Amino acid sequence: MKLLAIDTSTDFLSLAVSSDAGTFVFHERVGQKHAEQALPHVQDLLRQAGLTLKELDGVAYGQGPGSFTGLRIACGLAQGLAFAAGRPVIPIPTLDSVAEQAGATRVVACSDARMQQAYLASYDLGASRRLSPILLVDPDQAGADLQLEGDDWVGAGDGFAAYPVLTTSGWGQRLSAIRADIRPHAASYLRLVQSGRYASLPPREADLLYVRNKVALTTREQQARQR
């Protein structure tokens, strides 16, 4: 398939294009410059792949959870390009990308949600399925949020670097390895689309998966967390 994938859910701009000539990737930390840098790099990747927008089969994007602003940038860009090309969009949860990169069958994916919270979910990649909902947890109270059966679980995602306490009690003690360097990656979205597990939607139906419904803590909540 000829695909474009976009992720702006973190401080990385992650883009990938697949074509008959191969896979072309841009994945770099850009801070808060996703909006100004994304389209020029998309155009460059399409040029490298020898494709026009109308030759794509679809546009995949990271639907969340992640940075509120970043998610909206990826969704808006995917919608706009898909509309222009007359092609569908394929929304993919960001934690699915984190899990896919772990190189293991049983994975707990965990991303830093900021505000002293984390997003996490468990996966059985041997059966190609997510076992739990995507959860928003307070790391020091997350011991009972997952029920992990069997052995050889691997933790993946920057949430484990941000909150080491996740590995010290409950299900965290069952993790045999931690890959805290993994973030959502556009090339991973290309592989996930090829699995056929994700629906293609008309661009007008592109949606986001926020999980958290607020952007920042109030002053009182910030003070309470510091006690």
List domains and CATH numbers for the chain.
Answer: 3-94+184-205 (3.30.420.40), 102-179 (3.30.420.40)
Euclidean distance between CA atoms 95 and 2, whole angstroms: 23
Task: Report which secondary-structure segment, H or E, holds 203.
Answer: none
Query: From CA 117, how far away is CA 163, in angstroms rounded?
Result: 9
Least Cα distance to 166 among 188, 148, 149 occurs for 148
44: left (phi over 0), alpha (psi -120 to 50) or beta: alpha
Say how far apart CA 65 and CA 212 lie, in whole Å: 8
Cα gap 7→34, rounded to integer Å: 9
163-174 residue pLDDT tens: 999 998 889 999
Beta-sheet pairing, 106-114 with 117-124: antiparallel
Cα angle 101, 9, 175; round to 5:
40
pLDDT greater than 60 at residue 88: yes
Tokens of 195: 């699995």
Residue listed under structure tokens 């993994």 = 182
Buried b (16+ CB within 10 A) or exposed e, 172-188: bebbeebbbebbbbbbb
3-state secondary structure of 224: helix
How much of the chain exceeds pLDDT 70, in percent? 93
Q: What is the pLDDT of residue 140?
A: 85
Extract the tokens encoding 3. Answer: 């695909």
Ranking 32-46, 101-115, 133-147 by mean pLDDT, the lowest is 133-147
Residue for token digits 């996930």?
Answer: 192
Residue 143's pLDDT is what? Answer: 62
- pLDDT tens per residue across span 165-198: 999 888 999 999 999 999 999 999 999 999 999 9
Cα(first)–Cα(last) distance of the chain, in Å? Answer: 53
What confidence score (pLDDT) does residue 226 get?
40
pLDDT-derived band of residue 135, with 50, 70 and 90 as boundaries?
very high
Model confidence pLDDT, tens digit, residues 28-82: 999 999 999 999 999 999 999 999 999 999 999 999 999 999 999 999 999 999 9
